[in-house]
A and B are shown apart, each in its own frame.
Chain A
């Protein structure tokens, strides 16, 4: 994965953590949260898992170890 794609994945997940598409004035309840809150929390947890993976897999690439300056 290129650096740009890593940045896009992180930015996209953060953008999607906002419940943009929820408009129902009486949302259903999921595990004690309104559906839009449950959605946001789920995307946030996904963000944490993906970021932890990216840190583990691509840290060296992101540090530009092969580029001398």
Chain B
């Protein structure tokens, strides 16, 4: 351990703590395997539909908040100022969105033994082609999630160890750990490790918020500085900014709430009361997660001005380093922050990976081989997980920078899936054809707008509105008129 580079963010003890955290994930993975009750898809992908309040809440929490919360959100607050208060609303809007469909979906899932989002689509719309299209769209969106998060893992591990573990090695090492505990116990292992990761995330966010408050002062103390140094932060948003604000709420509300891995957790709840209570706690979590990181970013803008756009994503770490000069023991907080960020990313990757595996096995492979028994299907799902993580790790390391922008297409795709779920649950006379065509047109529009932005430089958000929301508006219009005609 004497050869830890000076540039490393973690000390020797920090690296030991980090390794212990990774080891604990493998132990939990083994525990998940031991607790396995039967070799069925329901047991592997939904933990036998037995998640209680504590684990369900923490797995929902760890899944909804990725490493982006700890790294991207303070950076965005640093750059956007008070306007990024929208981050609190957008994360809450996701829970508000669940109210539109989760109570009924959970009841139906229990009654009809749904495993994936495709199971509901098939049950409601009775169309193989529509189910497969939705499944492919979800798989592409989830693959993009995995790719971007794996890349973030590589950067964090490299920075944490000062290059002792390289970017490539970091991706491979953590991918192997994720795939091992996931293959061992499926959803049970993933949910239990999420519980550890959720607790670490909450402690990390709270600790850095409290220390920043104590050392630099809170909102009131930075207000005067920002009024002088960044008057644009104080000015109210322009009309286009307000459109962007609303558009961001909508894209999160409809995109994030239909994450296939979030829906899997709705199916995994022990009963409706457990799910209900989890959401009642979850609705307040943005106040102690995103709001805290917003304040950290704003304090950074006041105390550490002049940081570049790329550097601003590290503003929380920069504040920690700045404090380390005057406060002893700050290395502990740096360790906690890095471990929490890694935990947040790993919990998102493992959930997305499990969801992809279930989508492929249940909605694609099972259709091709309808005679396969539960044990065989679970085995296929595990093999598919290994293939996916291997391909994603390779791409995360090798994908050219120009192609990386394509991976930004996630919520835009998932937004187009939302009407099938939101309207399917609530409108009895909704026919299949209108939803199918709406989905296709909406997806084409959203993807075309993003491609035009990347290749031709056209505006990514005309009038401040995301491509996914333009697509969703057309999607809903098509559904309205076609359904009227069908009825």
- Chain A residues in the interface with B (C-beta under 8 A): 3, 6-7, 10, 13-15, 17-20, 22-27, 29, 31-34, 36-37, 40-41, 44-45, 47-48, 51-52, 54-56, 59-60, 62-65, 69
A64 CA / B242 CA spacing, docked (Å): 36
CA distance A25 to B238 in the complex (A): 10
Tell me, in angstroms, the Cα distance from A54 to B98 when the chains sit together. 12
Does residue B317 face the partner (Cβ distance < 8 Å to A)? no
Query: In the complex, what residues of A have CB within 8 A of residue B286's CB?
Result: 44, 48
For the complex, give the distance between the alpha carbons of A54 and B276 in Å: 10
A18 touches B88 (CB 8 A): no
Interface segment, B99-107, B160-168, B174-182, B334-342? B99-107
Question: A55 contacts which chain B residues (CB < 8 A)?
Answer: 99, 276, 279-280, 283
Q: B157 at the A/B interface (Cβ < 8 Å)? A: no
- B96/A59 in contact, CB under 8 A: no
Complex contact A47–B107 (CB within 8 A): no
B234 within 8 A of A: yes
Cα of A31 to Cα of B291 in the assembled complex, Å: 14
Given A6-B99, A63-B104, A65-B107: A52 touches B280 (CB 8 Å cut-off): yes
A44 to B92, CA, bound (A): 8
Q: Does B52 have its Cβ within 8 Å of any Cβ on chain A?
A: no
Residue of B nearest to A35 (CB): B236
**B82 on the interface (CB 8 Å rule)?**
yes
The chain B residue with its CB closest to the CB of A44 is B89
B287 in the interface (beta carbon within 8 A): yes
The answer to whether residues A52 and B284 also contact, given A22-B236, A32-B222, A63-B107 and a CB cut-off of 8 A, is yes
A29 CA to B235 CA, complexed, in Å: 11
Which chain A positions have C-beta within 8 A of B82? Answer: 33-34, 36-37
Whether B237 and A25, one on each chain, are in contact in the complex, defined by CB atoms closer than 8 angstroms, is no
Bound state CA distance, A13 and B246, in angstroms?
A: 12
Complex interface residues of chain B between 70 and 108 (CB less than 8 A to chain A): 82, 85-86, 88-89, 92-93, 95-96, 99-100, 103-104, 106-108
Range class of the B interface residue count: 35 or more
Task: Give the contacting residue for B283; candidates A3, A22, A51; CB below 8 A.
Answer: A51
Q: Which residue of A lies closest to B105 (CB)?
A: A63
Given contacts A29-B223, A32-B223, contact A14 B96 (CB under 8 A): yes
Q: Which of B85, B218, B237, B276 contacts A59 (CB 8 A)?
A: B276
| Cross-chain contact B96 with A40 (CB below 8 angstroms) | no
Docked complex Cα distance between A37 and B295 (Å) = 13
Taking a contact as CB atoms under 8 Å apart, the answer to whether B237 and A36 are in contact is yes
Q: Which residues of B contact A23 (CB under 8 A)?
A: 236
Do B96 and A18 have beta carbons less than 8 Å apart? no
Contacts of B103 in A (CB 8 A): 59-60, 62-63
Kindly report which residue of chain A lies nearest to residue B107, judged by CB atoms. A63
The CA of A55 and the CA of B246, in the complex, are separated in Å by 23
